Amino acid sequence: MMFFVAPLYSGAVWAGQVNINSADVSTLSTELTGIGDKKAQAIVDYRKQNGPFASVDDLQNVKGISSKTIEKNKENISL
């Protein structure tokens, strides 16, 4: 008898890089940990008002985005 065992992977393994300077609300909220629709909209609004983010740490300037949230997502964020 042969058994096939499928490995289980967390969503983080499959998540790709999210460009915070071009991603839409839906992408931000589904691909980043701790970012729901409200925070994703705040990121997009901040970007529209202030221009592109120069660094990932600039996300701290967005209301509701903490350094802990940034740290959780750093590997999945690109500029």
3-class SS letters over the chain: CCCCCCCCCCHHHHCCCEECCCCCHHHHHHHCCCCCHHHHHHHHHHHHHHCCCCCHHHHHHCCCCCHHHHHHHHHHEEC
Is a pLDDT exceeding 50 seen at residue 21?
yes
| Structure confidence at residue 19 as a pLDDT band (50, 70, 90) | very high
Q: Are 62 and 44 in contact (CB under 8 A)?
A: no
pTM exceeds cut of 0.95: no
- The domains found in the chain, sorted by start residue, are 23-78 (1.10.150.280)
